[in-house]
Amino acid sequence: MPVFYGTEIASPLMLGTAQYPSPAILAEAFRASGAGIATVSLRREAGGGQDFLRLIEGLGVPLLPNTAGCHTAREAITTAQMARELLGTPWIKLEVIGHTDLLSPDLFGLVEAARELTAQGFRVFPYCTEDLSVCGRLLDAGCEVLMPWGAPIGSGLGLNNPHGLRALRAAFPDVPLVVDAGIGLPSHAAAAMELGFDAILLNTAVARAGDPAAMARAMALAAEAGRAAFLADPIEPRQMATPSTPVIGKAFLT
């Protein structure tokens, strides 16, 4: 199971708490998923008040507040400070959005905010890209986890750059890595875990599914299967066929 900042998580599936049709469906989806972490936006919590706070605390899993919707480093830092005061955790999923349509990270603001928040004692989970130089700067800034996107948030496209994600895993073999955003199907979740990632984080694919609880369960099974496959040391793909039945003992006509 993944370990983030010294805390072992019960499942490689991390699940968001936004967009569900009702609080009851949200709770049902979490029960079905067995998710190890619940992410929560401070803006969403503020809109839901104490009822929503009680709901997410009742999920019985560690909470990872995020700075969703922040477009500058200063805005993200302020939001993180508010989240720590409200939810009582130093963990923060750091989002600094650079492009409104793609919701892609502002990598310059991200590194700036990560450095400042780490200095303030936060345990930062940065939403980033698979760019090796940026990820190296985030580690230098004090981050001990990296969360590269698979595809734009809520797109359901899966892994847009599996080669880049594989290179990231190879470059930082000892750093916990989480694919965050873009997962739309269980096959996407399995593919991410087969690359050697430690966890996946998703929200829209479950919350907006016709049956959120069923999709949550499917995602959990896919994540577990993908991780088991990675640990099993799968065969390398080949361009030519390899017979699975040995030719030793085969009768030859002369």
Question: Which whole-number Å values give the CA distances from 231 to 19, 163, 193, in the listed order?
Answer: 34, 19, 10
Q: Which residues, listed in sequence order, are joined to residue 97 by a DSSP beta bridge?
A: 105
CA dist., res. 83 & res. 239, Å (int): 52
CA dist., res. 19 & res. 3, Å (int)? 28
In terms of DSSP H, where are the helices of the chain?
A: 23-33, 42-57, 73-87, 107-119, 132-140, 162-171, 186-194, 204-207, 212-231
Q: Which residues are annotated as a binding site?
A: 154, 181-182, 203-204
Q: Is 93 known to be catalytic?
A: yes
CA atoms within 13 A of residue 71's CA, in its CB half-sphere: 6
C-alpha Rg value of the chain to the nearest Å: 20
Given a contact cutoff of 8 angstroms between Cβ atoms, the answer to whether 229 and 239 are in contact is no
Closest CA to 93 of 157, 20, 55, 43: 43
Q: Which residues fall in the annotated binding site for 1-deoxy-D-xylulose 5-phosphate?
A: 154, 181-182, 203-204
Catalytic residue among 44, 93, 169, 188: 93
Task: Give 3-state DSSP helix, strand, coil % of the chain, rounded to 5.
Answer: 40, 15, 40
Catalytic residues: 93
